[in-house]
Amino acid sequence: MNDQSTCACSCGCITAEDPRFAELKSYIDSLDQNQGITMPVLQEAQRSFGYLPLEVQKFISENTGVPLAEIYGVATFYSQFAIEPKGRHHIGVCMGTACYVKGSQKVLDKLAEELKIKVGCTTADGRFTLEATRCLGCCGLAPCIMIDDDVFGKLDDISRIPDILGKYE
């Protein structure tokens, strides 16, 4: 979750004065520079900032000596990293085979319509991020979605979706 409560300005953006940069610098300095440090530093930055905007990628590059292009390449290759802010609640719509044949595209379309966002995006209020995922491992409940750690199955009746979203304020 992106905790921006320590942001130095009131708009919620990440500024150079953000104390998390100093914390990240301390973390970088604590690492053995002879080991591959890109992954642990990106993981720490992701944990701290909630995502990896360009300012954070540049900071990491300047303080580790790893080229910005390489930082960007790793940040965009691994799904554990995000370069866009994430919502407080993550919705994963299963697009695995069992869910797909039972109508997961309709579920995804309904969610996108309700939230007024495209897949991969976050609502303007920062409440939800909507993503399509691989099999969630509960094919017997197809079509299903996961919101944070909660699974909702048998969603062929998409009229249930607004009520489900309403549980997450």
Interface positions with ligand FES (CB under 6 A): 94, 96-99, 135-139, 142, 144
Report in angstroms how near the CB of residue 165 gets to ligand FES at its nearest: 19
Joined tokens for residue 22: 């100093």
Report in angstroms how near the CB of residue 153 gets to ligand FES at its nearest: 8
Alpha helices, DSSP H, located in 4-158:
19-30, 38-49, 54-64, 68-77, 97-101, 104-115
Report in angstroms how near the CB of residue 128 gets to ligand FES at its nearest: 20
Q: Which is nearer to ligand FES, 7 or 135 (CB)?
A: 135
Please report which helix (H) or strand (E) contains residue 161, including its range: helix 161-166
Report in angstroms how near the CB of residue 86 gets to ligand FES at its nearest: 22
Q: Which is nearer to ligand FES, 120 or 137 (CB)?
A: 137
Under DSSP, the state recorded for 141 is G
Q: Which is nearer to ligand FES, 74 or 144 (CB)?
A: 144
Q: Are 158 and 110 in contact (CB under 8 A)?
A: yes
Report in angstroms how near the CB of residue 97 gets to ligand FES at its nearest: 6
Q: Which is nearer to ligand FES, 59 or 152 (CB)?
A: 152
Q: Are 49 and 14 in contact (CB under 8 A)?
A: yes
**Residue 92 DSSP SS3:** strand
**What's the rounded Cα separation, in Å, for the pair 4 and 28?**
21
Q: Which is nearer to ligand FES, 60 or 94 (CB)?
A: 94
In the chain, the amino acid numbered 4 is Q
Residue closest to ligand FES when measured from CB atoms: 96
